[in-house]
Amino acid sequence: MTTAIVIPARYESTRFPGKPLALISGKPMIEWVVKRAKEAKLADRIIIACDDDRIFDFAKKNLDVEVEMTSPDHTCGTDRIIEVLKRNLDIEYVVNFQGDEPLLPGAYADILIKSSVENKNAISTLITPIKDKKDLDNPNIAKVILDKDGYAICFSRSQIPYNRDNRSDFTYYKHIGIYGYSREVLLKFGELPVSEIETMEQLEQLRAIFNGIKIKTNIVEKAFQPVDLPSDVKLVESVLALN
Residue of 83, 136, 126 whose CA lies nearest to 101:
126
13 or 137: whose pLDDT is higher?
137
Asked if pLDDT for residue 243 goes beyond 80, the answer is no
80 is in which domain, residue-wise?
A: 2-242
Asked if pLDDT for residue 120 goes beyond 90, the answer is yes
Q: How many CB atoms lie within 10 A of CB 28?
A: 23
Q: How far is CA 61 from the centre of its chain?
A: 25
Among left, alpha and beta (phi > 0; psi -120 to 50; other), residue 104 is: beta
**pLDDT tens-digit readout, 182-208:** 999 999 999 999 999 999 999 999 999
Number of domains in the chain: 1
**pLDDT tens-digit readout, 151-178:** 999 999 999 999 999 999 999 999 999 9
Percent of all residues in the chain with a pLDDT value above 70, rounded to a whole number: 100
**pLDDT tens-digit readout, 20-39:** 999 999 999 999 999 999 99
Residue of 205, 180, 123, 217 whose CA lies nearest to 3:
180
DSSP codes, 37-101: HTT-SS-SEEEEEESSHHHHHHHHHHT-SEEEE--TT-SSHHHHHHHHHHH-TTEEEEEE--TT-
CATH assignment at residue 223: 3.90.550.10
pLDDT confidence bin for 242, thresholds 50/70/90: confident
Confirm if 99 and 76 have CB atoms less than 8 A apart: no
pLDDT score of 43:
98
Work out the mean pLDDT of the chain and round it to a whole number.
96
